[in-house]
């Protein structure tokens, strides 16, 4: 280890900053946040130092060795190699910690990249060997560490005296706090529901888990939300649908248990009531259960039914929205679902045929200035097109059918209300498919391949 990582308490302490440009400004902001009092030495200052704190002072001059006297930390942030070296030498002569920005050879301390969820701080350093690698690692952590840790830390700090009084034994207290982290109390603290969190911290009920109903998006794993990713990393068990791609599952915690509970028409399917019951059973075993659903759990996802069962069983839950197929597929195909020139509203409709017929209020579907997005509509495509024409929609209204949207295997077909069913039958598009109907398909942003198909 070339450097010892320390978190430096600089509250109220004098810090010398040499330099007055952009790099110096960035360091000034950071050092200010730590509550230090800055003395900035520079012939010219290009930022407003006192806006950061009225206690900071600017000495309008060039650097001299005596400037380091009485300082707790010295930072050189100039683009002048001679000055930087002089600052480093003067500070080291006084045994003061010194940082010269981007010059580890002149520094006795270096600034790590930080993930700031103050009071929680994660610092990443590569010993000055690669600032790009440091930044890369920081970005990875930034995505994984929830902003809500700020709340959890504040909650735990506020409850510490009471916890010490209630559980004086340090070992028992540690075990209780660890159990709290693994249970629903943590989620309550994250959500700012401190009273509910107290129940789990002070009267721990053994064996009560929780369920997270999480939207996995339409396929591309990069469309997972940060929250979904964080929960996938914390899950004990993951129950997933057939719409959840393998690449999405790859982002989950390796040692989680994976249970497939998919439903696919015509194939062996897990009945909804068994899924509901399974969620309750697993949560009652004290597990953190992620119920992962394609797209958004509340859009044709039966999320509401699963929650009803959890509520009845008194199981804590959270819902994490996902990017629904309509948003994902449309975005990747360049189709604006609304557009000032073409459509003022968008309607998400189930095209799933019931008793061999698609039963919808067709007169509402044909109103102008509206984009229609049919989920589960492949089997009913011919009827959808016929009904729209019958109820007054122009035959030339464009229709796009997008298969496996947002994934590398995605294929699309585009035609109009008359031609599309035939084109789709010939292309033998694999499911899942989404049907988009409306004038927005004429927008200039629509991917050229699709446009060519309707010309
Ligand atoms: C039971 S619904 C679930 C919808 C999901 N909850 C959502 O918000 O996207 C399944 C239907 O979503 C659509 N779908 C989901 N993912 C898709 C994708 N990647 N490409 C095309 N259609 C998709 C298809 O119409 C499919 O039949």
| pLDDT per 10-residue tile (average), the chain, 455 residues | 89 97 95 96 95 95 97 96 97 97 92 89 85 87 86 93 91 84 86 90 73 96 93 92 93 92 72 90 90 96 89 92 98 96 96 83 94 96 96 96 94 94 91 96 84 54
Return the active site residues.
Answer: 241, 263
Atom of ligand 1 nearest to the CA of 376: 27
Cβ contact 72:14 at 8 Å: yes
Same domain, yes or no, for 364 and 426? Answer: yes
Task: Determine if the peptide bond prior to 119 is cis (ω within 30°).
Answer: yes
Q: Whose CA is nearest to atom 27 of ligand 1?
A: 376
- How far is the centre of ligand 1, averaged over its atoms, from the C-alpha of 261 (Å)? 16
Question: How is 220-279 classified by DSSP, letter by letter?
Answer: -GGGS-HHHHHHHHH-SEEEE-TTS-HHHHTTS-TTSEEEE----TTS----HHHHHHHH
339 three-state secondary structure: strand
- How far is the centre of ligand 1, averaged over its atoms, from the C-alpha of 376 (Å)? 7
pTM for the whole structure:
0.74
Q: How far is CA 429 from CA 292, 371, 403, 410, 417, in A?
A: 25, 22, 6, 9, 17
Same domain, yes or no, for 280 and 365? Answer: no
60 lies in some domain: yes
Q: What sections of 402-444 are H helices per DSSP? A: 420-427
CATH number of the domain that 423 lies in? 3.30.950.10
Same domain, yes or no, for 315 and 387? Answer: no
Q: Report the C-alpha gap between 59 and 343 in whole angstroms.
A: 61
Same domain, yes or no, for 249 and 345? Answer: no
271 lies in some domain: yes
Same domain, yes or no, for 232 and 267? Answer: yes
Domain count, the chain: 3
Q: Report the C-alpha gap between 174 and 167 in whole angstroms.
A: 10
Same domain, yes or no, for 356 and 386? Answer: yes
CATH number of the domain that 229 lies in? 3.40.1010.10
- Among residues 296, 357, 362, which one has the least CA distance to residue 329? 296
Pocket probe for ligand 1: among 221, 372, 375, the residue whose CB has the most ligand atoms within 8 Å is: 375
pLDDT at 267: 61
Same domain, yes or no, for 246 and 347? Answer: no
| Domain stops at, among 300, 323, 346 | 323
Same domain, yes or no, for 212 and 318? Answer: yes
Pocket probe for ligand 1: among 325, 348, 349, 434, the residue whose CB has the most ligand atoms within 8 Å is: 325
Atom of ligand 1 nearest to the CA of 377: 25
125 lies in some domain: no
72-86 per-residue burial string, b: 16 or more CB within 10 A, e: under 16: bbbbbbbeeeebbeb
Cβ contact 453:355 at 8 Å: no
φ and ψ at 299, to 5 degrees?
-115, 110
Is the minimum distance from the CB of 416 to ligand 1 under 6 angstroms? Answer: no
Note down the domain range covering 264.
207-323
122 lies in some domain: no
Same domain, yes or no, for 366 and 441? Answer: yes
Q: Which two tokens stand for residue 178?
A: 């660890």
Q: Report the C-alpha gap between 200 and 197 in whole angstroms.
A: 5
Cβ contact 75:56 at 8 Å: no
Same domain, yes or no, for 317 and 388? Answer: no
Task: Determine if the peptide bond prior to 107 is cis (ω within 30°).
Answer: no
CATH number of the domain that 67 lies in? 3.40.50.720
Q: Report the C-alpha gap between 71 and 13 in whole angstroms.
A: 8
pLDDT at 453: 57
Q: Whose CA is nearest to atom 25 of ligand 1?
A: 375
- Among residues 280, 273, 250, 275, which one has the least CA distance to residue 262? 275
- How far is the centre of ligand 1, averaged over its atoms, from the C-alpha of 294 (Å)? 7
199 lies in some domain: no
- Among residues 287, 388, 373, 265, which one has the least CA distance to residue 327? 373
- How far is the centre of ligand 1, averaged over its atoms, from the C-alpha of 324 (Å)? 7
Beta bridge partners of 290: 212, 238
44 lies in some domain: yes
16 three-state secondary structure: strand
Same domain, yes or no, for 332 and 345? Answer: yes
Sheet containing 398-403, strands listed edge to edge, beginning at the edge strand earlier in sequence? 345-350, 370-375, 433-437, 398-403, 411-416
Atom of ligand 1 nearest to the CA of 219: 19
- How far is the centre of ligand 1, averaged over its atoms, from the C-alpha of 142 (Å)? 30
| Domain stops at, among 59, 77, 111 | 111
- Among residues 348, 350, 322, which one has the least CA distance to residue 438? 348
400 lies in some domain: yes
Name the CA dihedral angle for 221, 226, 228, 233, rounded to a multiple of 10 degrees: 90
Q: Report the C-alpha gap between 141 and 188 in whole angstroms.
A: 23
107 lies in some domain: yes
| Domain stops at, among 323, 342, 365 | 323
Pocket probe for ligand 1: among 295, 333, 358, the residue whose CB has the most ligand atoms within 8 Å is: 295
Same domain, yes or no, for 354 and 436? Answer: yes
Atom of ligand 1 nearest to the CA of 263: 1
Q: Which two tokens stand for residue 173?
A: 């207290």
């Amino acid at each position: 280890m070339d450097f010892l990582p320390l978190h430096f308490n600089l509250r109220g302490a004098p810090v010398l900053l040499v330099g007055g440009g952009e790099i110096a400004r960035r360091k000034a902001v950071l050092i200010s946040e730590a509550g230090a009092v800055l003395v900035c030495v520079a012939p010219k200052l290009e930022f407003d130092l006192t806006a950061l704190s009225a206690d900071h002072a600017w000495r309008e001059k060039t650097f001299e060795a005596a400037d380091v006297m009485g300082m707790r930390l010295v930072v050189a942030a100039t683009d002048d190699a001679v000055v930087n070296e002089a600052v480093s030498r003067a500070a080291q002569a006084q045994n003061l910690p010194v940082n010269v920005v981007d010059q580890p050879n002149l520094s006795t301390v270096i600034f790590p990249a930080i993930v700031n969820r103050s009071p929680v701080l994660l610092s990443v350093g590569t010993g000055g060997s690669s600032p790009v690698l440091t930044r890369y690692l920081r970005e990875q952590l930034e995505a994984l560490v929830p902003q809500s840790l700020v709340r959890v830390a504040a909650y735990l700090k506020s409850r510490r005296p009471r916890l010490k009084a209630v559980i004086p034994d340090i070992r028992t207290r540690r075990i209780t706090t660890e159990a709290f982290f693994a249970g629903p109390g943590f989620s309550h603290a994250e959500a700012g529901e401190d009273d509910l969190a107290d129940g789990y911290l002070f009267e721990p009920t053994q064996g009560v888990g929780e369920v997270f109903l999480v939207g996995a998006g339409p396929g591309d794993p990069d469309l997972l939300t940060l929250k979904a990713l964080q929960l996938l990393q914390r899950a004990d068990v993951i129950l997933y649908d057939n719409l959840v791609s393998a690449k999405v599952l790859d982002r989950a915690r390796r040692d989680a248990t994976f249970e497939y509970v998919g439903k696919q028409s015509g194939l062996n399917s897990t009945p909804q009531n068994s899924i509901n019951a399974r969620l309750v059973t697993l949560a009652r075993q004290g597990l953190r259960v992620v119920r992962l659903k394609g797209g958004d759990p509340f859009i044709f996802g039966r999320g509401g039914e699963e929650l009803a069962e959890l509520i009845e069983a008194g199981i804590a839950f959270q819902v994490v929205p996902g990017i629904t197929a309509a948003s994902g597929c449309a975005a990747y195909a360049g189709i604006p679902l609304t557009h000032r020139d073409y459509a003022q509203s968008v309607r998400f409709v189930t095209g799933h045929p019931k008793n061999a017929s698609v039963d919808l209020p067709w007169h509402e579907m044909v109103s102008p200035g509206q984009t229609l997005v049919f989920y589960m509509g492949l089997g009913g495509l011919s009827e959808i097109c016929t009904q729209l024409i019958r109820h007054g929609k122009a035959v030339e209204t464009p229709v796009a059918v997008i298969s496996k949207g947002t994934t590398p295997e995605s294929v699309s077909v585009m035609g109009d209300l008359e031609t599309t069913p035939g084109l789709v039958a010939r292309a033998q598009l694999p499911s899942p498919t989404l049907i988009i109907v409306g004038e927005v398909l004429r927008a200039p942003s629509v991917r050229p391949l699709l446009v060519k198909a309707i010309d």
